[in-house]
Chain A
Amino acid sequence: MAEARTLVAGEATGEVLVLEEPLSFWGGIDPATGVVIDVHHPQRGANVAGTILVMPGGRGSSSSSSVLAEAIRAGTAPAAILLLEPDPIVALGAIVARELYGLVVPVGVISAGVPTDRRLWVRAGAALKIEPA
């Protein structure tokens, strides 16, 4: 059975963007625009703003929590983030943005089954529910 787990609760709908490789938000996205700027990333130039972002996980940088919180504040963050592997630093950025601004970006972990739908509805609560939208 595929394990799905909520890291940060919330609800969101959006277009799906599946990242093929891990992405560090710091040095990886421009928080002013949401555009992927990491020159090593195969999807450089894609925009994460407003998407249901499906990603394997982050990379090293411990500043990624700050950059995600800043992107959430600036309105350039994904609408929701679904990780294939738990990444506490991603969850942390979403938690702090919620504490500071009341802006909610749900974060969940899906261990199997990268969604193939174009749009998704995500409800991260006691259980993580993901449905086509």
Chain B
Amino acid sequence: MPVELTERDRGMLSGAEGAASALAMGIVVEMADVMGADRLIDVASAHVDSCLYHGLAGLNFAERLAEGAARVSVPTTLNVAYLDLLHPGLNRVDPETAANARRQMDLYVAMGARPTWTCAPYQLAERPAFGEHVAWAESNAIAFCNSVLGARTNRYGDFIDVCAAITGRVPFAGLHRDEERRARLVLRLDGVSERLLHSDALYPVLGHLLGREAGSAVAAIVGLPPDTSEDRLKAIGAAGASSGSVAMFHVVGVTPEAPTLEAAIGGTREPEVLVTLGRLRSARDELSTAAGERLGAVSVGTPHASIAELQRLAGLVASSPPRVPLFVNTGRDVLAQAEAQDVLPALEAAGVRVVTDTCTYLSPIMGEVDGPVMTDSGKWAWYAPANIGVDVVFGGLQECVASAAAGRVVRDESLWGSDG
């Protein structure tokens, strides 16, 4: 099925707006065919992950765009990159890689994208409106955008994100369409204690299970408290987009397209999975690759910590300062808020190492670590063993801080007990 193009689309394709626009439009049109779209639609904004260095291919692509005088045509934010520009002393990268990674970052800024360097663009002051079509990359941000904001993006990968930012166009397919946003699977919590429901440790674990069960399907979760916070929804999406390809989920009574289960599934009957304490416990165990008490370091803030999460961390470390290195990743905009609210001085006084612009699991910031690393993030737990070669232990934020203070893994097993 040929993709229907407007006159402007065809003009861009043939080079009327420059070589970079022609390359970008060519990729958008070819992807429309891959995705089975019959036309393109406008996007209001973009979030670009192509700025993260993975080797020469990504840099060469940015260079090719820059040679063709690329400019973004819609407001565009940038994802985490390979370097912490605010804390250069933290980067443990060889000079050649550092230079390449930096050049790739600079090229995207020169195209007109904002140097936000965060994987949590939904924490920035301006965010997409309900129902708005956008082009977001970064798997956790995609899940948040669709699920929590009710804005519409497909699972855009590196390269097409910036092609969409340049052309302002994306294929009309997938989660841009009403019918693709309905849940095809129901996850119903069964017998989960109030205490666990009100613990942040539950949410990454539930997300991990969601990814395992749903794969790439949209699922509806039933049984979470109506006041479930954005930070907890963030944790579900980030874990679900790591163990699975979750790009959207509903939480009935919480997320905007799921006031009721009927609204989320759109009147059909869908298969149901019971989320019992036993299943949650095994999902939690899957997130750890090490057992025992040994602890080398702690890393929290993946996806980037919000101001509320930094405040909570500052409160916890004030009474239990870390004895092993404790890292927190956050965005530079949130860091500025933390500075203004005296949260940053409190973190620094307790010895917390604050990382911005990048993340401890994609750049070798932590260096040699003597023992497993504890994290409160399902996503960090999923990727860190392969990416940076460490063993991981999963626990909630409170457990992470208590462990850092004790210098050994301390977990509250009663949280996951049947009588919790």
Contact = CB atoms under 8 A, between A and B. Distances in A.
Q: Do A and B bind each other?
A: yes
A86 B57 contact: no
B11 interface: no
B159 A96 contact: yes
Contact of A74 (B55, B58, B211): B55
A88 B387 contact: no
B54 A67 contact: yes
B158 A22 contact: no
B64 interface: yes
Interface range on chain A (Cβ under 8 Å from partner): 35 or more
A33 interface: no
A11 interface: no
B54 A59 contact: no
B57 A100 contact: yes
Contacts of A31: 54-55
Contacts, number: 135
Interface in B25-67: 26-27, 30-31, 34-36, 49-50, 52, 54-58, 60-61, 64
B56 A73 contact: yes
B260 interface: no
A7 B244 CA distance: 22
A88 B36 CA distance: 10
B386 interface: yes
A86 B34 CA distance: 8
Interface stretch (A37-45, A114-122, A125-133): A37-45
A132 to B, nearest CB: 27
B329 interface: no
A105 to B, nearest CB: 12
Which of A26, A37, A67, A85 has the largest count of B CB atoms less than 10 A from its CB?
A26
A66 interface: yes
B139 A62 contact: yes
Nearest to A26: B54
B55 A63 contact: no
A72 B54 CA distance: 13
Contacts of A67: 54-55
Interface centre among A22, A24, A66, by most chain B C-beta atoms within 10 angstroms, is: A66
Contacts of B215: 22, 57
Interface string A76-88: 0000000001111
A91 B158 contact: no
Given A66-B52, A66-B55, 7 more contacts: A62-B49, A62-B137, A64-B157, A72-B57, A85-B216, A92-B159, A95-B31
Interface of B: 23, 26-27, 30-31, 34-36, 49-50, 52, 54-58, 60-61, 64, 137-139, 142, 154-161, 211, 215-216, 240-247, 286, 289, 382-383, 385-387
Q: 5 smallest A-B Cβ distances: which pairs?
A: A60-B241, A65-B157, A70-B55, A89-B157, A60-B139
Interface of A: 7-8, 22, 24, 26-28, 31, 37-40, 57-67, 69-70, 72-74, 85-89, 91-93, 95-97, 99-100
